[in-house]
């Protein structure tokens, strides 16, 4: 069962192919072994591990995979419901209950994307600096700050901006899909 709107079908293809390819291939190239190349002064294994865990409480790849999986959930529920009820694609925008359920799933996707966008800003910011100042007091039993070098900081900044851009595009596509459904209901567009 395809999404009932043209924009929804484009969103599914964009979401499913471009983002997953970008995250899987390029994300691994940029973030692959980040922890191994993260080095602090003094260069001790325990200092590097402590500081890396402060720098990255969750790795961007794991966060974005969780974001992708979470945003897929509303659509999966709708498609499971449609499959269990044997709903035909052309009936989705014809019957009020199905339309409302579908709009609710799209609206929920927008909310989940917005929450993920906010969390991404809180966790990663917009810029990855060359130097990360780490508090290593937990190891030394006194307040001590260590400087750590962040590998490939410029590439990571570009990747962050790209992921923010993808999130904004997906939210705009969801909003456009809701607009398309409204136009169909109001009779401005023909139903497929």
Q: How far is CA 165 from CA 47, 100, 160, 184, in A?
A: 34, 28, 9, 28
CATH class of 6-191: mainly alpha
The CA distance from 2 to 89, in Å, is 7
How many residues are recorded in the chain?
192
The pLDDT of residue 112 is 94
pLDDT tens string, the chain, 192 residues long: the values are 677 777 887 877 777 777 777 777 777 777 777 778 888 887 788 888 888 888 988 888 888 888 888 988 998 888 888 888 888 877 888 888 888 898 999 999 999 999 999 999 999 999 999 999 988 876 665 668 889 998 888 988 998 898 899 889 889 999 998 888 888 877 776 654
Q: What does pTM read for this prediction?
A: 0.82
The pLDDT of residue 22 is 74
Query: By the 8 A CB rule, do 147 and 40 touch?
Result: yes
The CA distance from 8 to 180, in Å, is 9
Q: What residues have CB less than 8 Å from 180, skipping those under 6 apart?
A: 5, 6, 7, 8, 189
The pLDDT of residue 108 is 95
Which among 13, 22, 11, 18 has a CA at the least distance from the CA of 159?
22
The pLDDT of residue 142 is 63
φ/ψ of 149, rounded to 5, equals: -90, 130
The pLDDT of residue 189 is 66
Q: What residues have CB less than 8 Å from 115, skipping those under 6 apart?
A: none
Question: Would you list the domain boundaries of the chain?
Answer: 6-191
């Amino acid at each position: 069962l395809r999404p009932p709107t043209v924009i929804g079908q484009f969103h599914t293809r964009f979401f499913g192919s471009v983002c997953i390819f970008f995250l899987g291939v390029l994300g691994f190239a940029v973030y692959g072994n980040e922890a191994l190349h993260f080095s602090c002064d003094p260069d001790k294994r325990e200092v590097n591990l402590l500081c890396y865990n402060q720098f990255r409480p969750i790795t961007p790849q794991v966060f974005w995979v969780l974001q992708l999986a979470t945003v897929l959930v509303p659509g999966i529920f709708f498609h499971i419901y449609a499959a269990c009820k044997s709903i035909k694609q052309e009936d989705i925008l014809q019957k009020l209950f199905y339309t409302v359920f579908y709009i609710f799933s799209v609206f929920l996707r927008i909310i989940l994307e917005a929450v993920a966008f906010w969390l991404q800003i809180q966790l990663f910011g917009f810029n990855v600096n060359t130097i990360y100042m780490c508090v290593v007091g937990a190891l030394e039993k006194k307040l001590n700050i260590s400087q750590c070098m962040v590998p490939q900081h410029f590439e990571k900044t570009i990747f962050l901006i790209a992921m923010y851009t993808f999130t904004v595009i997906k939210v705009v596509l969801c909003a456009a899909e809701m607009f398309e459904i409204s136009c169909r209901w109001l009779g401005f567009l023909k139903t497929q």
